[in-house]
Structure 1
């Protein structure tokens, strides 16, 4: 199964992406300082995600068609921890919410290879 995130990007264009400022490069983290804005004394957010409509400044491409993160290897824990529905066998309602906000259907669960209509579970 190919990564559904590469044709989606809805989460990057729907939610505020905030995280502890210690993840920024100036504090020894990986997130480039110039890609964030301060939202409190201890938290920052990715540029473009603090207002509606939100869209992370690092999202390249068209939501629902083809996208990529221009700083994927340097992304925050918030981004690293976000899972597409069914990525690890469970539905993620936040993924479905972001997709719905962009007119995209929820991701279908994977087919069970050992089940077929002619087999009784």
Structure 2
């Protein structure tokens, strides 16, 4: 089972996964599907910020998102060809807070849904046709 480090900061929960054997390292589905939006105070141009502003777009005066994800269905600019995050140590809070694995070690149902959507194998599940949950919500 992958090693999960769960920590809290400012009453928020962050999930950090050690090693290279966890499902979010080789998948990248969430980085290809969700709009990665967050409070502009996380930008490296703000005091205490850390997300590289050059890789973001402004959504509102107070919200930014990673370039490529503005429409809600696009590849995050920080996602590298090997499906690893190019700014992992400086990724936005929304990425830090999204648990690929639940506390019991099982895959997050959203990860399973996205893996099916992108026709990727699901760890622990026999290969076969995708289920009804491959359809995007209207």
Q: TM-score, normalised by structure 1?
A: 0.75
Task: Report the number of matched residues.
Answer: 104
Answer whether contact 2:35 2:73 (CA < 8 A) is retained: no
Where do residues 1-121 of structure 1 align in structure 2 (5 Å cutoff)? 1=2, 2-28=21-47, 29-51=49-71, 53-61=73-81, 66-86=82-102, 88-89=103-104, 90-108=106-124
Tell me the alpha carbon deviations over residues 65-86 of structure 1, each in whole angstroms, 9 at most, x when there is no partner.
Answer: x421111111010010111134
Q: CA deviation at 1:101?
A: 2.0
Return 5+ residue gaps in structure 1 as ranges.
110-121
Deviation at residue 108 of structure 1 after TM alignment: 3.4
Which runs of structure 1 show a deviation greater than 6 angstroms over 4 or more consecutive aligned residues? none
Query: Structure 2: how far apart are the matches of 1:75 and 1:30?
Result: 8
Quote the RMSD (CA, aligned, Å).
Answer: 1.9
TM-score of the aligned structures, taking structure 2 as reference length: 0.67
Q: Which has the higher contact order (CA 8 A, sep 6+)?
A: 1
Q: Which of these two proteins has the greater Rg computed from alpha carbons?
A: 1
- Listed as ranges, the gaps of 5+ residues in structure 2 are 3-20, 126-138
